[in-house]
Amino acid sequence: MDYDIAVVPGDGIGPEVIDQALRVLTAAGSRFGFGLKLNEFPYGANHYLKTGVILPESAFSELAACKAILFGAVGDPRVPMGPLEQEFLLAIRFRFDLYVNLRPAKSFPKTKVPINTIPEGQGLDILVVRENTEDFYMGLGGRGLGGFEGSFQAKRRLYGLTGDLKFQAAPNGHPTGPQAGQTAGQAANRPQDEEFAFSLGLLSATGCRRIAAKAFEFAKSRGDKALHVASKANAVPQLYGFWDAKVNEVAANYPDVALKRMNIDNLCYQLPRSPMDFGVILCPNLFGDIVSDLASSLIGGLGLAPSANLGDDFAFFEPVHGSAPDIAGTGKANPLAAILSGALLLRYLGETQAAEAIEGEVQAYLAKGADLPFELGGQTPVEKVGQILTAAISAK
Ligand code: GGG
């Protein structure tokens, strides 16, 4: 069996870690009797700087012709933050309706962690289930002087949204006199001189319900008695009160899994203090991005955290870490998160034995505690780490 895989190494350390992931996946294919036809795509900062195009429309059908995407990272200091992420990474998630972002954080043997709240001999098995298409990632927003007037459009597989938005600054609602840092115009109560920026967070009932159902299913399949859900309905009730209500509706179908709702601030406070209390954590998009970094810190680092972006008919796998331009090209990148993302891809393809073999070899390698990557206190370059794991997979 041969699988067509789209490979998008992207920016910074992306190409280095993806090279190593591909070596390991190819070795797993040889051992378990399948082939990977790798179709590499150049998208990312270099492509954008060369062509002025972030992601051409033709890319979507080319990507769709593959079974899944393996992606490295996006982000480059030569390009302003935002457009690459929105028109490339998020555009792929939205266009293919990859509404489930799975970000597992599982402890590894002998790996140093920054907390002492994990009992000796036990490990974390956290799964962040992040909604991946809505919330503050809608891409709806703007900025303006004295207010804003403009139209917006968002396309999702579930719905399209178009609209106009207009607001105008008005004289102080609560006049208190000039404040520190105010401009002369503002102090003179000239709100037309104030600059504003805004971003619309948006949730749909179907969007909330479908991710909540996925999270409950994951909790159930793990045999968990509880599911934590991140919210912030106390301060942002319009958005997260709605989120809570829709999650509660779905919870009624899962009477054996207790729903534990927490405001995101409290969740971030409790997670390092009592990490063993957490299993599946359901999050709206923005909180999920943040909590998954926190969770990966608790298992030893972002270089150990893989992720899957899943829809009903396509999938996209990437390490949780970003492009780390400060260490790109130094050999200091840790390829394990990319390798483990590759294992998730193989599991998605149904190559479960190969996925388990890779995960097992990563465990065995970390348990040995030798030749570790820089992130984990060693001095082994990215390529050598890939070589060690490739050799381990091929040796059996
Ligand atoms: N490989 C992950 C990556 O490049 N992440 C950049 C980033 O900030 N992504 C935002 C997100 O995942 O929502």
Residues 259, 130 share a domain: yes
Catalytic annotation present for 76:
no
Which residue has 């150049």 as its token pair? Answer: 42
CA 316, 318, 324: angle at the middle one, nearest 5? 145
Which of 26-40, 90-104, 165-179, 239-253 bottoms out in mean pLDDT, i.e. has the lowest?
A: 165-179
The residue from 298, 327, 342 where one domain ends is 298
Mean pLDDT of 295-307: 98
Which CATH number fits the domain that encloses residue 15?
3.40.718.10
C-alpha 73 to ligand 1 mean position (Å): 7
**Structure-token pair, residue 382:** 């990215």
Rounded to whole angstroms, the Cα distance separating 344 from 350 reads 10
Residues 287, 310 share a domain: no
Of 74, 199, 344, the residue with max ligand 1 atoms within 8 A of its CB, to mutate for a pocket test, comes to: 74
Nearest atom within ligand 1 for CA of residue 318? 1
92 lines ligand 1 (CB under 6 A): no
Residues 321, 356 share a domain: yes
Residues 262, 121 share a domain: yes
Catalytic annotation present for 293:
yes
Evaluate whether residue 91 is within a structural domain.
yes
The pTM assigned to this predicted structure is: 0.95
Rounded to whole angstroms, the Cα distance separating 37 from 50 reads 27
Residues 126, 241 share a domain: yes
Evaluate whether residue 68 is within a structural domain.
yes
C-alpha 396 to ligand 1 mean position (Å): 35
pLDDT digits 0-9 by tens, 59-82 = 999 999 999 999 999 999 999 999
207 lines ligand 1 (CB under 6 A): no
Evaluate whether residue 323 is within a structural domain.
yes
Residues 260, 246 share a domain: yes
Nearest atom within ligand 1 for CA of residue 90? 13
318 lines ligand 1 (CB under 6 A): yes
Which of 176-185, 271-280, 282-291, 387-396 bottoms out in mean pLDDT, i.e. has the lowest?
A: 176-185
Q: Which domain holds residue 283?
A: 114-134+203-298
Evaluate whether residue 106 is within a structural domain.
no
Q: From atom 1 of ligand 1, which residue's Cα is the shortest distance away? A: 73
C-alpha 321 to ligand 1 mean position (Å): 7
Asked if residue 298 lies in contact with residue 146, where contact means CB atoms within 8 angstroms, the answer is: no
Element (H, E) at 352: helix 352-368
Which of 265, 312, 313, 326 does the annotation list as catalytic?
Answer: 265
Evaluate whether residue 109 is within a structural domain.
no
C-alpha 14 to ligand 1 mean position (Å): 11
Provide the number of structural domains found in the chain: 3
C-alpha 322 to ligand 1 mean position (Å): 5
The sign of the torsion formed by the CA atoms of 262, 265, 271, 274 equals: negative
Catalytic annotation present for 313:
no
Residues 258, 129 share a domain: yes
pLDDT digits 0-9 by tens, 8-38 = 999 999 999 999 999 999 999 999 999 999 9
Asked if residue 352 lies in contact with residue 41, where contact means CB atoms within 8 angstroms, the answer is: no
In single-letter form, the type of residue at position 339 comes to I
Q: What is the DSSP string of 321-355?
A: S---TTTTTTT----HHHHHHHHHHHHHHT-HHHH
Rounded to whole angstroms, the Cα distance separating 60 from 91 reads 10
Nearest atom within ligand 1 for CA of residue 72? 1
Of 88, 89, 318, the residue with max ligand 1 atoms within 8 A of its CB, to mutate for a pocket test, comes to: 89
Give me the pLDDT at residue 66, please. 98
Residues 258, 118 share a domain: yes
Residues 84, 36 share a domain: yes
pLDDT digits 0-9 by tens, 140-152 = 999 999 999 999 9
In single-letter form, the type of residue at position 270 comes to Q
Residues 129, 246 share a domain: yes
Q: How do the residues of the chain divide into helix, strand and coil, expressed in percent and rounded to 5?
A: 40, 25, 35
Q: From atom 8 of ligand 1, which residue's Cα is the shortest distance away? A: 322
Mean pLDDT of 96-105: 98
C-alpha 200 to ligand 1 mean position (Å): 20
Residues 357, 313 share a domain: yes
Evaluate whether residue 105 is within a structural domain.
no
**Structure-token pair, residue 370:** 């030798």
Catalytic annotation present for 368:
no
Catalytic annotation present for 260:
no
Other beta carbons less than 10 A from residue 371's beta carbon? 14
Which CATH number fits the domain that encloses residue 286?
3.40.50
